[in-house]
Amino acid sequence: AVASGMRLVILHGYGALPTSHWFTWLGDAIGGDVDIPALPDTEAPRRDAWVDAAGAAMAGDDDLVVVGHSLGTVAALLALEGVDRARIRGIVLVAPFWESVPPLPELDGFLDLPPMPDLAGAPVVVIASDDDPIVPPELSARAAAMLGVPVQTVPGAGHFLDRDGWTTLPAARDAVLGMLARA
């Protein structure tokens, strides 16, 4: 379980809810202080509003492990820019990207992004699929390269959606547990 003074923050993606996919399963699997905020206007996300909501979930003195999925990875990285680096125990990015996503031109305004934040030594794990139809695997690979970390590939996982059977995500659980063990 997340130890006292630690918080797990899980950020959902575009069109999703805190109860979607594997988010509540992950929170339950880790236990302790878990926050899965509902990011505003999930069907028409605005970057400032998402970053503000993510930042509010990360506020305080607790050490943090942050998990983001898809567009939630962008919100996580942007919100972490305002967090004291000493509080960041780890970041898990599932199907991340840091550029426009061809299947989702409606997100181009959200994705007019600054340079990737420098996370200065915070442990980062990138999890991606080799057959993601929404976030092409090469976008996740480029995001991982910008962060200086390898991609942990889950074969045949698509976009890690509940409708495709992804109601658990052991790779994310194991990454979080590894970060908590080092904390």
User: Structure pTM?
Assistant: 0.96
Q: How high does pLDDT run on average in the chain?
A: 94
- Beta bridge pairs of residue 6: 63
pLDDT, tens digit, 9 for 90 and up, residues 102-148: 999 999 999 999 898 888 788 999 999 999 999 999 999 999 999 99
Please answer whether residues 175 and 122 qualify as being in contact, where contact means their C-beta atoms are separated by less than 8 angstroms.
Answer: no
Residue 97 confidence class, pLDDT cut points 50, 70, 90: very high
By CB neighbour count within 10 A (0-12 exposed, 13-18 middle, 19+ buried), where does 31 fall? exposed
Distance CA 112, CA 78 (A): 12
The residue count of the chain comes to: 183
What pLDDT, on the 0 to 100 scale, is given for residue 120? 75
The token pair that represents 83 in the structure block: 């967090």
Q: Is the backbone of residue 109 left (phi > 0), alpha (psi -120 to 50) or beta? A: alpha
pLDDT score for 183: 63
pLDDT number for residue 117 = 87
Tell me: pLDDT of 36 over 70. Answer: yes
Is the pLDDT at 4 greater than 90? The verdict is: no
